[in-house]
């Protein structure tokens, strides 16, 4: 299994921490050259993790590592990402994982327009722009993989009465942005049908306790409603290698693992449970 992404060049957004950093490590562990991107390279804000730290973890696997700092909410800034990543990696991007997202919660009718614009720039427009930037070289190569990370928040609440959970309707605008991303995923797949480029979206079935999720909802999520980072990453990397007929899909992590009979691996590519007592594989 190690080396199955050898010769591939991957770009993962939102790679300072969480799902993005974990996905980048898993792809690097399996042979890919990886470009990582976020707004800053060094630690910023109150959350642990940075592009510099992610790059250091990736470097130990021996492949090329590209670091591109850019603000995804700025259309001009994000237009640099794909060209700079391809230049640093020495060739066009084969795999794009649109993981970065802005997560802001507020009542729908009181959500400031400026914040709504940030949500849609980061969660909808940026993924589409990056997909458009990588598509021509993927089409020329006859294959490519675009994976958009979605959210269960995209699904409308049933009611009345509405069972909205701990955040109530404050998650609706964020969910709307992820719903839009899902529909555009399907549309891009339809446009690219027959080119060999696969475009899919995947969401966690349960909460993945990344640094950001821990800060937002960590104290309100029951343990049985949590899935591991490794499970989510397993589903993502499966879609980074899926066949041409798997495209335009809206998939759920744990359901995908079950349907495809996938074994969950550590971020270094070794099967979970293969470690010895002292932690060595």
Sorting pLDDT into bands at 50, 70 and 90, what band is 277? very low
Exactly one of 146, 174, 185, 247 is catalytic; name it: 174
Residue 145: which residues within 8 A CB-CB, separation 6 or more?
94, 95, 96, 197, 198, 239, 240, 241, 242
User: What is the dihedral sign for C-alpha 20, 10, 270, 252?
Assistant: positive
Query: What confidence score (pLDDT) does residue 168 get?
Result: 85
> Is residue 216 included in any domain, yes or no?
yes
Query: What confidence score (pLDDT) does residue 49 get?
Result: 84
> Is residue 279 included in any domain, yes or no?
no
> Is residue 190 included in any domain, yes or no?
yes
Query: What confidence score (pLDDT) does residue 1 get?
Result: 46
Q: What is the mean pLDDT of residues 96-122?
A: 97
> Is residue 186 included in any domain, yes or no?
yes
Helix 126-141 to helix 81-89 angle (10° resolution) is 40
> Is residue 179 included in any domain, yes or no?
yes
> Is residue 162 included in any domain, yes or no?
yes
Annotated catalytic, 174? yes
Whose tokens are 């199955």? That residue is 4
Q: Are 245 and 52 in contact (CB under 8 A)?
A: no
CA-to-CA distance for 263 and 269, rounded, in angstroms?
11
Give residue 13's domain range: 9-260
> Is residue 274 included in any domain, yes or no?
no
Query: What confidence score (pLDDT) does residue 274 get?
Result: 62
Query: What confidence score (pLDDT) does residue 210 get?
Result: 57
CATH number, residue 165: 3.40.50.720
Q: What is the mean pLDDT of residues 69-97?
A: 98
> Is residue 33 included in any domain, yes or no?
yes
Q: Where are the beta strands (DSSP E) in 127-271?
A: 144-149, 197-203, 207-208, 226-227, 250-252
Q: Quote the percentage of the chain above a pLDDT of 70.
A: 90
CA-to-CA distance for 154 and 184, rounded, in angstroms?
13
CA-to-CA distance for 47 and 70, rounded, in angstroms?
18
Taking residue 231's Cβ as centre, other Cβ atoms within 10 Å add up to 22
Q: Are 47 and 212 in contact (CB under 8 A)?
A: yes
Structural domain count of the chain: 1
Q: What is the mean pLDDT of residues 183-201?
A: 98
């Amino acid at each position: 299994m190690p080396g199955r992404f050898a010769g591939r060049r991957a770009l993962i957004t939102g790679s300072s921490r969480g799902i993005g950093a974990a996905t980048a490590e898993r792809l690097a562990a399996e042979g890919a050259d990886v470009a990582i991107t976020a707004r800053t390279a060094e630690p910023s804000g109150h959350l642990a993790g940075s592009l510099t730290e992610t790059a250091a973890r990736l470097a130990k696997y021996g492949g090329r590592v590209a670091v591109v700092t850019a603000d995804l909410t700025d259309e001009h800034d994000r237009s640099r990402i794909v060209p700079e990543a391809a230049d640093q990696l020495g060739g066009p991007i084969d795999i794009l994982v649109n993981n970065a997202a802005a997560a802001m919660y507020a009542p729908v009718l009181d959500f400031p327009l400026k914040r709504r614009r940030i949500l849609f720039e980061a969660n909808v427009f940026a993924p589409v722009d990056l997909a458009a930037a990588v598509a021509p070289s993927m089409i020329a190569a006859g294959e490519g993989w675009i994976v958009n990370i979605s959210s269960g928040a995209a699904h409308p609440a049933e009611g009345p009465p509405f069972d909205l959970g701990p955040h109530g309707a404050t998650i609706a605008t964020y969910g709307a942005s992820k719903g839009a991303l899902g529909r555009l995923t399907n549309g891009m797949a339809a446009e690219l049908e027959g080119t060999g480029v696969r475009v899919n979206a995947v969401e966690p079935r349960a909460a993945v306790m990344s640094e950001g999720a821990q800060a937002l909802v960590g104290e309100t999520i029951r343990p049985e409603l949590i899935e591991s980072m490794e499970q989510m990453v397993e589903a993502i990397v499966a879609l980074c290698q899926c066949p041409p007929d798997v495209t335009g899909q809206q998939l759920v992590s744990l359901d995908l693992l079950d349907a495809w009979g996938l074994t969950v691996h550590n971020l270094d590519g070794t099967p979970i449970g293969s470690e010895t007592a002292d932690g060595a594989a």
